[in-house]
Each structure stands twice: as structure tokens, then as C-alpha cells.
Chains A and B, each alone.
Chain A
Amino acid sequence: MSIIKASDVDFYYGDFHALKGISMEMERNSVTAFIGPSGCGKSTFLRLINRMNDLIDGTRLTGSIEVEGRNIYDKKIDVDTLRAEVGMVFQKPNPFAKSIFDNIAYGLRVNGVKDKAFIEQRVEESLRGAALWDEVKDKLKKSAFELSGGQQQRLCIARALAVQPKIILMDEPASALDPLSTAKIEDLIFTLKSDYTIVIVTHNMQQAARVSDKTAFFYLGELIEYDDTKKMFLSPQVEATQNYITGRFG
């Protein structure tokens, strides 16, 4: 059963028609990759799933996006609650100016968790979940800024895991990292799949091919092709997709 379902989504930044008639469904416990050239709308679409685009003035959406059967653009939806359920990892690591421990605990605290023992337990679980625990267990009180870029990004993933979202959105999570850190993030995505639904935007074809079950190709605000990753990369149905993944443009 699909956990995310977009129906006829049109999205505008002012007069700019950024997304045109997007309809697609994403499976629970799967990894979906969004690919396409810069400005094709893939990040915009990703940011619609946790309503991050609400922060931008002058945007407009028609159509609907459902998460677990509820239209998240319904007036009754509480955006903060939605975002606790749909986590996000950003392009550049953005740990808060707090200790490693407090970075993870933050999400729990803002969602009303006060039980210290529970917070400690969740912090450890989350750091283990993000394959960071062994590297930081002795310096939880140290500032998050002391970590390397790759560690910071895994900290941000751990931070997202701590609030136990159902979906994790990743906006080019490895684009600012070195190859080794990138490999770690990709391994992590593979492990996380068993507990979470992951949607990842990437500019890296190999990465999409390696980590995802399904791939969606966006071009000029339209969803050109959406299929199993293997099929997409071996025998794309649309010529534009073929041209993009073979590097002829983009």
C-alpha cells in the first residue's frame, strides 16, 4: 500500500509554474529517488511532502498530497505534527549550535518528551541507527560543530530518526560530502529502509541506481518517467530519460 500519494499536483512560485500535473505514489519501506537537471522541480516536489515550501511567500498549490491517506494540505492538518512524522535531511549538514546529545534530544523535547531516561535511550538508539554511536559515544557533551562534515550529516540523520518519523525526505544529502562519507550515507539509507520510507533527491545517477527501489525523472516541472530503478536505468521508456541518465544533457 502506498504511504505517499500525490494527485494532480500543480505548484506555483508567484507566476512561475514549477510543477505541472504531478501524480505519483510511493510505497511504504521503499527508497524513491528523484532525478533530473537543476530547476526541474524535484526538490520543490520533495519539499511539498513536509510542507517546507509553506515558508516561501507567494506560492500556490492545487491538487492533493496524501500521507497515509490524509491530505496534508487540508486546513485541519497541523503542520508541526506533520513535520514530526515526515522528517527531512538537508543538502548541507545543519546541526544546531548545541552539543551532540542536545542536537538529537532537541526533536524529542520540542515534541513534549520530558522523561530523561527515555531521551537518553532514544539518543543512543538514534545515533546507533545513523551508524554514528561508536564515533561519538565518548563525546556526547561536545559541540556538534567539532564533528566532520560526514559525521555532521549522519548526526542530522540521527536527529531526524529520534522523533521516529514515518518518512524521511533527503535533499541531496551527500552532495556536500567526500566519497567515503557518501558511501556511509548510502549504506545507511539501505539499512534505514526496513523501518522508514525514504525519498531522496540526487544529482548523482550512480547513487540513484545504487540506493533506490524506484526512480522518478523530472524535467521542466513535469514527471517524465517513474518506474522501478532497474527498469529505468536499463530500458527507459522515454527518450528524454535515456538522454539524461546517459549524460547527454543535464
Chain B
Amino acid sequence: MKRKTLIQNIAFGIFRLMALSVVAILVWIIGFLVVKGAGALSWEFITESPTDGMTKGGIFPAIVGTLCLVVGSMVFAFPIGVMSGIYINEYAANNWVVKFIRVMTNNLSSIPSIVFGLFGMALFVNTLGFGDSILAGSLTLGLLVLPIVIRTTEEALKTIPDTYRQGSYALGASKLTTIRKVILPMAMPNITTGLILAVGRVSGETAPILFTCAAYFLPKLPTSIFDQVMALPYHLYVLATSGTDIEAARPVAYGTALVLILIVLIVNLLAGVLRGYFNKKLR
């Protein structure tokens, strides 16, 4: 075999190995969780409250709590993020103000999540007096994912060629109408991707809700946005580190992790369907 071909093949082999190892790790993690956690799964597990010092019973309140936080944070982050993205890409001239906004948005996304947690506690819990609550937790998580939503919106809008904007202006449409009726529908599938990423991030974060929302043990459902809730990631943390009987709670912990991953997967699937729907509307 020629030397050149050999080098090509070795390089290709290495790339393939790397790509496959990523898949392998993912499969390993999920497989590990399924093996360890599937035994804990049952109808009761996802519909009942924890009992016996969290070593028995279900995790229903934590599932509900996490769903509340996901919805709450998106209600906050999605409109603000999309509107900011629209402003940055469509309205603002490319001057220092926009550059400043962009740098700041990037900085926002590199702040450690525990810092968001402390900030959320200082602002929402204490200063604004929301207390430990779904509202405070959602706002904190919303802040955390704002950069993701802004960034993907911006990128999504950037991929729409200017010729569509001009085509709309040429008919006498205003800028706002053009964005609403022509540009946003075309950008929607990619903006939805941002939503998926944000939801995935929110449902798995522990640090931001630590001081703003999450309850250690609260076997009842919230009745208002000012209630505390249990949340899956924090529940997992509690089970693994500070339960009354950590060993006895192991199966519950694995089951919780599995449920958390399943929820994220289901949300991703739903978002994929949503993305497909927006895509179809364009064809």
C-alpha cells in the first residue's frame, strides 16, 4: 500500500475511533442508569411521594417540581431571549453597543451556575422578597439560559438571507411586519433548537435552585408560584449525599437519575416534533 493511502487510513481510523468513543460513553452512561435504575421504576415510583426517609416511595413531587421550573424558566427566558436576539440581529446597527451586548451575553454564559444561584438568592429571594419559591427558582434558571436563547435566535436570524427581507420591504411591508411574517417563521425551526438546549440545561441544573427554590423534602404538590418544590437534580444530590440512609436510598437515586434523563429525552423529542412542524409549515 502506498504511504499516502496508509496515512489517510490511519487518520480516518483515529477520527472514527474518537467519534465512536463519544457514542460509547453516552451509551455506557444510559446503559449504566438503565441497569441500576430500571429496577426502581414502577408506576408508584413516578406517582407517589417519597416515604421512609426517602429510601422508599416515589419521586412524584420532584418530577412536578422540575416540570414547574422548566415551564417557569422558559416563560421567562424564551420571550426575553428571542426579543433580544431579534433586536441584536435585526434592529441594532453593528456598532459598539451591539458588540458590548454580545460580549456581555457571552460572559453571562460563562458565569458558573452556583454564582447564578447566589445572585438569585440575593435578588429574587431576599431583595424582591419572593422567598424560596418556584418564581425565584424559575427566574434564576431563566437568567442562566438566556444567553443560549439569545445566541441561537441571533444565529437563526443570521442564516435568513437579506433578499427575503428586501422582498418584503419592496412590497411596502414595515420592518416589524417583515420580521413577524417572513423572517421569524423561517427562523423558527432553528430557534426551537435553542429552546431544546435551554430546556435540557434547566432540567438538569442543581446549583441555581439550591438557594432559591429547591426543597429537601416536601411530599406535597405546589399550589402557587410562591411555593417551594422538590426538583429531580437536587433530589438526586440529596439522595446521594445527605439522606438518612444513603445506601438504602441508592436504588431510588438511580431511578431518579433515569427519570431525569428520560424527561430530558422526551422534551427533546417533543421539541424535535415542534421543529419538524415549523419546518413543514415552510415547505
B167 touches A111 (CB 8 A): no
State in angstroms the CA–CA spacing of A75 and B164 once bound together. Answer: 26
A57 at the interface (CB under 8 A from B): yes
B171 touches A107 (CB 8 A): yes
A90 touches B163 (CB 8 A): yes
B93 touches A83 (CB 8 A): no
Could you tell me which residues of chain A, from 180 to 208, have a CB within 8 Å of some CB in chain B?
none
Could you tell me which residues of chain B, from 197 to 251, have a CB within 8 Å of some CB in chain A?
none
A145 neighbours in B (Cβ, 8 Å): 282-283
Could you tell me which residues of chain A, from 153 to 202, have a CB within 8 Å of some CB in chain B?
156, 159-160, 163
Most buried by A among B165, B169, B174, B177: B169
A50 at the interface (CB under 8 A from B): yes
Q: How far is the CB of A177 from chain B (nearest CB, A)?
A: 16
A36 at the interface (CB under 8 A from B): no
CB contact between A52 and one of B93, B169, B172, B177 (< 8 Å): that residue: B169
Q: Mark A112-130, 1 if CB is under 8 A from B, else 0.
A: 0000000000000000000
B173 at the interface (CB under 8 A from A): yes
A94 touches B283 (CB 8 A): no
B170 at the interface (CB under 8 A from A): yes
Q: Chain B interface: which size bin?
A: 20 to 34
Q: Please, which residue of chain B has its CB at the minimum distance from the CB of A58?
A: B93
State in angstroms the CA–CA spacing of A146 and B282 once bound together. Answer: 11
State in angstroms the CA–CA spacing of A225 and B231 once bound together. Answer: 76
B177 touches A110 (CB 8 A): yes
B170 touches A50 (CB 8 A): yes
State in angstroms the CA–CA spacing of A169 and B88 once bound together. Answer: 31
Q: Take A90-B163, A106-B181 as given contacts and tell me if A97 and B282 are in contact as well, using a CB distance cutoff of 8 Å.
A: yes
CB contact between B174 and one of A55, A85, A88, A110 (< 8 Å): that residue: A110
Q: Please, which residue of chain A has its CB at the minimum distance from the CB of B186?
A: A97
Q: Mark B156-183, 1 if CB is under 8 A from A, else 0.
A: 0000011111111111111001000110
B163 touches A107 (CB 8 A): no
B169 touches A55 (CB 8 A): yes
A94 touches B172 (CB 8 A): no
Q: Please, which residue of chain A has its CB at the minimum distance from the CB of B280?
A: A143
State in angstroms the CA–CA spacing of A52 and B162 once bound together. Answer: 12
A88 touches B282 (CB 8 A): no
State in angstroms the CA–CA spacing of A220 and B201 once bound together. Answer: 56
A235 at the interface (CB under 8 A from B): no
B283 touches A88 (CB 8 A): no
A87 at the interface (CB under 8 A from B): yes
B13 at the interface (CB under 8 A from A): no
State in angstroms the CA–CA spacing of A82 and B164 once bound together. Answer: 19
B163 neighbours in A (Cβ, 8 Å): 90, 92, 94
State in angstroms the CA–CA spacing of A107 and B177 once bound together. Answer: 11
A55 neighbours in B (Cβ, 8 Å): 162, 165-166, 169
Q: Mark A80-113, 1 if CB is under 8 A from B, else 0.
A: 1111110110101011111000000011001100
CB contact between B166 and one of A52, A57, A111, A159 (< 8 Å): that residue: A52
State in angstroms the CA–CA spacing of A149 and B166 once bound together. Answer: 18
CB contact between B169 and one of A83, A95, A98 (< 8 Å): that residue: A83
B185 at the interface (CB under 8 A from A): yes
State in angstroms the CA–CA spacing of A85 and B171 once bound together. Answer: 8
Q: How far is the CB of B280 from chain A (nearest CB, A)?
A: 10
CB contact between B171 and one of A57, A84, A97 (< 8 Å): that residue: A84
B166 neighbours in A (Cβ, 8 Å): 52, 55, 88, 90, 94
Most buried by B among A52, A57, A90, A110: A110
Which residues of B does A touch, CB under 8 Å?
93-94, 161-174, 177, 181-182, 185-186, 281-283
Could you give 17 example pairs across A and B, Cβ below 8 Å? Answer: A50-B170, A52-B166, A52-B170, A55-B166, A57-B93, A80-B174, A82-B172, A83-B169, A87-B170, A90-B163, A94-B164, A97-B282, A106-B168, A106-B171, A106-B182, A110-B177, A145-B282
